[in-house]
Chains A and B, each alone.
Chain A
């Protein structure tokens, strides 16, 4: 059984803990905590190659946010919490807190799936929806991908539109939505 190894990295208000599971070293557990933001602890599993890469890069650069590209995205999602009733002058409600957290959790899981959020192209735009939800949106090479977290629903609403073609829209579980995002990035 592989020896347990744990690395704790602190950088600019963010803590990341990496730990291999110890069973057969197939997976590393990771936990990211942003200081100063409530309920922003994200955790999941990443492949050991990614875990090692993060550790090496963190030791070299000590810049957690630049590697994961998450901080700006988390802040953008968090900022939606300050929208007041009627923020669109058409009676839209305040943004549902659970939808905010689901969107943040999704972004954290996307980062854990070997998705390097470190380029302009990879970062989604964040917008509120008129029913109090949160939408993440990518427009890459004339492919539009929107993932929407709506109040009172557990899944993710997925919308893909390629230019000149009919849009596809359906509900997905989180893991399937992550796979769709990765596929869209690879196809671009």
Chain B
């Protein structure tokens, strides 16, 4: 008798969502999925098999601390003020930072490739500035169809 084939388990990535990048009804906004002008690396996400939503948000604080080490006076002052305001992940989440969980298969179905993750789980969705603008509403549609989830304030710090 043939063994039943097992469907490959779905892989996911996390995209960090700043306070102004989702609306008051808990929906992500298309502008979240655009690249900065001249950004060639791709759209920043985290591999969900290598990191957690909490860790993805913690990276923001870690990055600020790294910047502080080499920042000059005025810039250093701004970073210190930021770290006082956001000392931990809980403070980010209170200020409406969130994490958007997306299936890799859906991203690939849009025609994007994915780079390799680094030790922290960070990787990039690869594509041109124009392609991301064209597909920005496709990314938000994943939430409408139930394929993607905006992790709420209860989910973000607790998923370890």
Binding site for B on A (CB under 8 A): 80, 83-84, 87-92, 125-131, 135, 137, 139, 142, 144, 146, 148, 157, 159, 161, 163, 167, 169
Nearest residue (CB) in B for A168 is B134
When the two chains form their complex, are residues A139 and B27 in contact, meaning their CB atoms are under 8 A apart? yes
Contacts A87-B18, A135-B29, A169-B133 known; A129 to B140 CB distance under 8 Å? no
Let me know if B90 is at the binding interface, CB within 8 A. Answer: no
When the two chains form their complex, are residues A144 and B133 in contact, meaning their CB atoms are under 8 A apart? no
Q: Which residues of B contact A137 (CB under 8 A)?
A: 23, 29-31
Query: Interface on chain B toward A: helix, strand, loop, or mixed SS?
Result: helix
Binds A, one of B4-12, B34-42, B149-157: B34-42
When the two chains form their complex, are residues B34 and A129 in contact, meaning their CB atoms are under 8 A apart? yes
Let me know if B21 is at the binding interface, CB within 8 A. Answer: yes
The 9 closest A-B pairs by CB, nearest first: A161-B137, A88-B18, A125-B23, A144-B137, A127-B29, A89-B60, A127-B31, A135-B31, A129-B31
Q: Identify which of A130, A146, A159 gathers the most chain B CB atoms within 10 Å of its CB.
A: A130
Interface string of B66-110 (1 = CB under 8 A from A): 000000000000100000000000000000000000000000000
User: In the complex, A148→B16 CA distance in Å?
Assistant: 21
When the two chains form their complex, are residues A159 and B137 in contact, meaning their CB atoms are under 8 A apart? yes
B39-70 residues with Cβ-Cβ distance < 8 A to A are 44, 60, 63
User: In the complex, A31→B12 CA distance in Å?
Assistant: 51
B125-156 residues with Cβ-Cβ distance < 8 A to A are 133-138, 140-141, 144-145
When the two chains form their complex, are residues B29 and A89 in contact, meaning their CB atoms are under 8 A apart? no
User: In the complex, A8→B24 CA distance in Å?
Assistant: 35
Contacts A89-B60, A135-B30, A137-B30 known; A163 to B36 CB distance under 8 Å? no
User: In the complex, A120→B126 CA distance in Å?
Assistant: 36
Binding site for A on B (CB under 8 A): 16, 18, 20-21, 23-24, 27, 29-32, 34-37, 44, 60, 63, 78, 133-138, 140-141, 144-145
User: In the complex, A131→B36 CA distance in Å?
Assistant: 6
When the two chains form their complex, are residues B144 and A142 in contact, meaning their CB atoms are under 8 A apart? yes
When the two chains form their complex, are residues B29 and A92 in contact, meaning their CB atoms are under 8 A apart? no
When the two chains form their complex, are residues A144 and B34 in contact, meaning their CB atoms are under 8 A apart? no
Contacts A127-B20, A130-B31 known; A89 to B138 CB distance under 8 Å? no
When the two chains form their complex, are residues B20 and A159 in contact, meaning their CB atoms are under 8 A apart? no
Q: Which residues of B contact A80 (CB under 8 A)?
A: 20
Distance of B10 from chain A, by nearest CB (Å): 21
Nearest residue (CB) in A for B29 is A127
Contacting residue for A128 out of B20, B78, B140, CB 8 A = B20
User: In the complex, A137→B27 CA distance in Å?
Assistant: 11
User: In the complex, A66→B36 CA distance in Å?
Assistant: 37
Nearest residue (CB) in B for A125 is B23
When the two chains form their complex, are residues B36 and A130 in contact, meaning their CB atoms are under 8 A apart? yes
User: In the complex, A144→B27 CA distance in Å?
Assistant: 12
Q: Which residues of A contact B31 (CB under 8 A)?
A: 127-130, 135, 137, 146, 148
Distance of B45 from chain A, by nearest CB (Å): 11
Nearest residue (CB) in A for B59 is A89
Q: Which residues of B contact A130 (CB under 8 A)?
A: 31, 34-36
When the two chains form their complex, are residues B30 and A146 in contact, meaning their CB atoms are under 8 A apart? yes
User: In the complex, A159→B23 CA distance in Å?
Assistant: 18
User: In the complex, A163→B78 CA distance in Å?
Assistant: 43
